[in-house]
Amino acid sequence: MNNFVKRLIAFSAGPIIGAGISFITIPLTTYFISPEEYGKASLFVLFQMLFATIIYLGLDQSYTREYNESDNKKVLLQNALIIPLLLSLFLFLLIAIFHKNVSLLLFKSEIYTIPVLLFGIMIIFMVTERFILLSVRMEEKALEYSILNILVKFVTLIGTLVIVYFVRRDFLTVIYSATLGQIIGDMFLIIKYRDLLNFRHYKPDFSLKKNMLKFGLPILVAASITSLLNSLDRIFLRTYSDFYQLGIYTATLRIVATLNIVQNSFTSFWVPTAYRWHQSGKDIKYFKIVSDGILFVMSMLFMFIVTFKDFIVTLLSSEYIDAKFIVAFLCLQPIMYTVSETTCLGIVFSRKSYMNIWISLLSIIPNIVLNILLTPIYGAIGTAIATAVSYFVFFWGRTYFSRRTGLKFNVIKHLVVFCLVFVVCFINLTKNNEVLYWNILLTLFIGAVQYKTIKNTIPFLVKKNIEK
């Protein structure tokens, strides 16, 4: 087995084991916490991710883009980190001053001061963690990256067990356990990589900062719109529905996190590899092999989850049984995103990061329109459909603009597979007893469409004398 696959497996080990730990944590929390309480906790996580995305200013993406072309990696990291870190500290100060207002926004009550302060503290840790893990990832330290991912998930599981059994059983259980896992895991990171965070001899490179901001700010705009796209589902549910529907939807997202783990594993491995391949002038056929391969893996994982969704949903508890009707649609988000990571490379290679703004705008329009039309009537089902459609537009937009830069290969197979998985999604909205047979039949059909992928990929994986 060649080095390519070995590194992919090493990068995937941590997120996959982390997914297993998370999978234990999900039924543990949903068994003791009602959908309504779970819905409240989801808003905490939602706003946390929104603020973190904005604070990065796109400098995290600039850091990965400049990494292979920089002679001093530590100077590059510190110049990329310093602005987001200062912004996160300033945000914490604002949250501490206006904690009652923030508590009212998140929980419809002014009394939750401690969770609100933890909200601000976690953002500081998240910013630090983001850049440290990017450094580990870009150095392609696969095993180390995996271990660090496992650590945070394991501490979160232990925290959940302790809080559920000895402290309380409401939405604060989720918040406190997630906060505990984040802070303890990140403290380990900070201690281990303290040299990277030693600013004693730091000298700002304003020319470097200018170049990174020039590349990163358009990504910030695009990322902010994309974060809004990822958040509108829960915002519309909170506006047009109730905490029960929000809780069902959020719990289903936790099931879909299985695919998110694959997404994160692949992206962590693929980004530095793709940059290195581009710099060395690798033939485009290798990029296509990877794209076809990840399409096959993601589509088969999708069919596995959808086929066994009834069993998977029972792990949540009987209160969350309605999750089985939307799990298929929500699976499309990580599938479309992961596959698009292989078809959008022309945008980053050409440094035309402004194209991401157009992609995000194109994606958010159908999301808003469909949520307005469907969420008031169908609740979580309508929101799930809106999310799935908007991510298909997201995939198409990234692929289209990348092809305009000159980096393009045939994606007809991708479009055929995505059309088939949409058919699967709508079939699984019904309560028909024949749904299982349809799922098995369509699994075989989707596999048959990708027969050439299997035929072409296997020699690539096992051939020992592969072209370097």
Give per-residue pLDDT as tens, 415-455: 999 999 999 999 988 877 788 889 899 999 998 988 888 77
Give per-residue pLDDT as tens, 18-40: 666 666 666 666 666 666 666 66
Contact 96, 117 (CB under 8 A): yes
* Residue 290 scores a pLDDT above 80: yes
Rounded mean pLDDT of 182-204? 82
pTM: 0.67
Rounded mean pLDDT of 10-23? 63
CA distance 426 to 310: 16
What is the percentage of the chain residues whose pLDDT exceeds 90? 12
The length of the chain is 468
pLDDT number for residue 465: 45
pLDDT number for residue 378: 86
Nearest residue to 294 (alpha-carbon basis) of 258, 331, 273, 265: 265
pLDDT number for residue 58: 81
How far CA 76 is from CA of 82, 207, 426, in Å, comes to 10, 11, 48
* Residue 1 scores a pLDDT above 50: no
Give per-residue pLDDT as tens, 38-92: 666 767 777 777 787 788 888 888 888 777 777 778 888 888 888 898 999 999 9
- For residue 292, which phi and psi values (nearest 5 degrees)? -65, -40
CA distance 140 to 11: 8
pLDDT number for residue 26: 63
pLDDT band at 319 (very low <50, low <70, confident <90, very high): low
Nearest residue to 252 (alpha-carbon basis) of 39, 432, 15: 39
* Helix pair angle (412-427, 380-404), 10° resolution: 180
User: Which region among 3-12, 193-202, 308-317 has the lowest average model confidence (pLDDT)?
Assistant: 3-12
Q: Following DSSP, what letter does each residue of 169-219 receive, concatenated?
A: -SHHHHHHHHHHHHHHHHHHHHHHTTTTT--TT----HHHHHHHHHHHHHH
Contact 296, 420 (CB under 8 A): no
pLDDT number for residue 466: 47
Angle at 212 between CA 206 and CA 215, to 5 degrees: 140
CA dihedral defined by 283, 289, 290, 294, rounded to 10 degrees? 160
pLDDT number for residue 135: 83
pLDDT number for residue 444: 92
Nearest residue to 403 (alpha-carbon basis) of 458, 456, 449, 340: 340
CA end-to-end distance (rounded Å), the chain? 13
Of the segments 266-280, 308-322, 448-462, which one has the largest average pLDDT value?
A: 266-280
Sign of CA dihedral 414, 417, 423, 425: negative
Contact 376, 308 (CB under 8 A): no
CA dihedral defined by 291, 326, 268, 48, rounded to 10 degrees? 150
Name the amino acid, one letter, at 448. A
CA distance 171 to 243: 12
CA distance 22 to 16: 10
Contacts of 421 (CB under 8 A, 6+ apart): 299, 302, 303, 328, 332, 335, 446
> To which residue do tokens 């783990």 refer?
261
pLDDT band at 468 (very low <50, low <70, confident <90, very high): very low
How far CA 145 is from CA of 76, 77, 184, 212, 453, in Å, comes to 20, 17, 16, 25, 29
**What does the mean pLDDT of the chain come to?**
79
Rounded mean pLDDT of 345-371? 86
Query: pLDDT higher for 40 or 198?
Result: 198
Contacts of 10 (CB under 8 A, 6+ apart): 142, 143, 146
What is the percentage of the chain residues whose pLDDT exceeds 70? 82
Q: Following DSSP, what letter does each residue of 111-178 receive, concatenated?
A: --HHHHHHHHHHHHHHHHHHHHHHHHHHTT-HHHHHHHHHHHHHHHHHHHHHHHHHT--SHHHHHHHH
pLDDT number for residue 264: 72
Give per-residue pLDDT as tens, 380-422: 888 999 999 999 999 999 999 988 887 778 888 999 999 999 9
